[in-house]
């Protein structure tokens, strides 16, 4: 089999946890388990050996729901390096014990010759219907916006795994948490359905960042806003960003 790296964006229900991502990591950490990429739940396409985050999770906020997304690098051994999948194909990640883990909606060819960029989208089952109206925006983001801010030329650098998508001054870029928190002008970025029209997602600042670990949403927001108050020396959190004002209410 041929080993190949590719990038996938995992999008999950909820604003503060990446349970499916953690489940994948847990499966791969087991000594006797493997994670297979299947076609039609029966034909082996590849065996996945590692999943590594390359960008810290951030929010996708719509009029329907709040989701969290993370870009990851997947290393897989392909049974046939010439095999290609088409945009819109649904593949399945299955553990060696037969547990169906996640469905992967292919955005582009996934195989040994895949071009640099986001190659697939993993949607948790409860998001498939809710995010169908936003698929064009998600595809545009994954194949356009994300590679612009995160170099994906093989091999994909894993040193970026501690970085967030942010607006520093007027520029969108990747930055550390401390860099973003160092000035009131800096903002975390998110994707948001700001017009409530059910079809377009736009990059906006500033949503509080997502998390790959389960945390209480209210406590998460409280801690973030209080930390921002401390760094920026606000008189109170209501004087800060709009999400801190919402938290106060």
Q: Is residue 136 in a domain?
A: yes
In a domain, 198, yes or no: no
Does residue 180 form part of some domain? no
Domain range for 131 is 2-162
Q: Is the dihedral of CA 96, 98, 104, 109 positive or negative?
A: positive
Per-residue pLDDT reduced to its tens digit, 30-82? 767 888 988 877 889 999 888 888 888 898 988 767 888 988 888 889 888 77
Report the predicted TM-score, pTM, of the whole model to 2 decimal places.
0.84
Per-residue pLDDT averaged across 184-207, rounded?
83
Determine, yes or no, domain membership for 106: yes
Is residue 32 assigned to a domain? yes
- Give the tens place of pLDDT for each residue, 14-40: 766 788 888 888 888 876 788 898 887
Q: Which residues contact 74 (CB under 8 A, 6 or more apart)?
A: 5, 6, 7, 8, 48, 50, 51
pLDDT digits (tens, 9 = 90+) for 125-180: 778 788 888 888 988 888 888 888 888 877 777 777 889 999 998 888 999 988 99
Total domain count, the chain: 1
Q: Is residue 49 part of a domain?
A: yes
169 found inside a domain: no
Give the distance from CA 73 to its chain's centroid.
Answer: 11
In a domain, 193, yes or no: no
């Amino acid at each position: 089999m041929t080993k190949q790296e590719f990038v996938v964006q995992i999008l999950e229900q909820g604003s503060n946890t990446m349970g499916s991502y953690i489940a994948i990591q847990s499966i791969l950490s087991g000594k006797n388990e493997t994670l297979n990429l299947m076609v039609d739940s029966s034909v082996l396409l590849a065996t996945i050996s590692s999943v590594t985050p390359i960008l810290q999770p951030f929010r996708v906020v719509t009029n329907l729901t709040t989701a969290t997304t993370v870009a990851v690098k997947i290393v897989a051994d392909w049974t046939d390096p010439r095999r290609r999948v088409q945009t819109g194909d649904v593949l399945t990640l299955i553990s060696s014990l037969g547990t169906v883990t996640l469905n992967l909606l292919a955005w582009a060819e996934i195989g040994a010759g895949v071009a640099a960029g986001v190659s697939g989208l993993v949607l948790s089952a409860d998001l498939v219907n809710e995010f169908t109206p936003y698929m064009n925006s998600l595809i545009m983001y994954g194949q356009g916006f994300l590679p612009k801010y995160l170099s994906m030329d093989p091999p994909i650098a894993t040193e970026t795994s501690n970085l967030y998508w942010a607006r520093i001054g007027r520029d969108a870029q990747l930055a550390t948490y401390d860099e973003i928190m160092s000035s009131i002008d800096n903002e975390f970025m998110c994707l948001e359905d700001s017009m409530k029209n059910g079809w377009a997602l736009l990059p906006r600042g500033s949503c509080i960042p997502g998390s790959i670990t389960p945390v209480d949403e209210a406590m998460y927001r409280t801690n973030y806003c209080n930390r921002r108050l401390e760094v920026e020396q606000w008189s109170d959190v209501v004087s800060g960003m709009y999400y801190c004002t919402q938290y106060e209410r």
